Chain A
Amino acid sequence: QKEVEQNSGPLSVPEGAIASLNCTYSDRGSQSFFWYRQYSGKSPELIMSIYSNGDKEDGRFTAQLNKASQYVSLLIRDSQPSDSATYLCAVNVRNSGNTPLVFGKGTRLSVIA
């Protein structure tokens, strides 16, 4: 069963706090994991990709992958009102023929000034 799950939110955090976004996936063989940000009325834009267990940091963003627990998360440090958006988790499903990335439904983040 191909499935990527995200809490739809909204997740509200105060400005300057850490926002933690979570994603679980069902296929234990998944190899590639992506986080996209989508502002209202706009198309998704890539924030980070992660392929190996552990943490990957890029500026204020940190992606965390735990393949044993089938869990990937995105931390946003020093959250800003401009971070308010929907965050989509996407997973590559192994052994699914040519099936492309599977997307979660997204978590809506609201950063309160």
Chain B
Amino acid sequence: DGGITQSPKYLFRKEGQNVTLSCEQNLNHDAMYWYRQDPGQGLRLIYYSQIVNDFQKGDIAEGYSVSREKKESFPLTVTSAQKNPTAFYLCASNRGRADTQYFGPGTRLTVL
């Protein structure tokens, strides 16, 4: 089946720890995106990548890092510098900038 997978579904982190969220797609999409969603809020863009080995900061990149070594994979690291990381994290992909974005199932991160 074609789609976007994210793991883990739930993640708990202690303050001061870095954690990495996985995002994989087998849709042969060039572009991939990371969003953060807080309760009752819209989607805020963290990072995006239009091509392998290249990525750009979104609106709230501080405290996050990404890599894009393979077309299929776009992992997101939430660093200890992110002051309030508890949120629902969504990965998305598409063929290019103006195309429909498809979302993965999301990872819910909770900082203890």
Chain A residues in the interface with B (C-beta under 8 A): 31-32, 34, 42-46, 49, 88, 90, 92, 98-101, 103-106
Known: A31-B98, A100-B31. A44 touches B41 (CB 8 A): no
A-B contact pairs, 23 of them (CB 8 A): A32-B98, A34-B100, A42-B105, A43-B104, A43-B105, A44-B90, A46-B101, A49-B100, A88-B42, A88-B43, A90-B101, A92-B97, A98-B48, A98-B50, A100-B31, A100-B33, A100-B45, A100-B48, A100-B94, A101-B101, A103-B42, A105-B41, A106-B42
Question: At the interface, yes or no: B56 with Cβ under 8 Å from chain A?
Answer: yes
Q: A43-B90, A100-B33 known; A92 and B106 CB under 8 Å?
A: no
Interface SS, A side: loop
Q: With A and B bound together, what is the CA distance between A112 and B41 in angstroms?
A: 23
Asked whether, in the complex, the Cβ of B42 is within 8 Å of the Cβ of A104, the reply is: yes
In the complex, whether B103 has a CB less than 8 A from a CB of chain A is yes
A98 CB contacts on chain B under 8 angstroms: 48, 50, 56, 97
Q: Which residues of A contact B90 (CB under 8 A)?
A: 43-44
**Nearest B residue to A94 by beta-carbon distance?**
B98
Contact B102 A46 (CB under 8 A): yes
Assembly CA distance A46 to B99 (angstroms)? 12
For residue A26, give the distance in angstroms from its CB to the closest CB of chain B. 15
Distance in angstroms between the alpha carbons of A43 and B103 in the assembled complex:
6
List the B side residues contacting A32 at CB < 8 Å: 98-99
Central interface residue in B50, B101, B105, by most chain A CB within 10 Å: B101
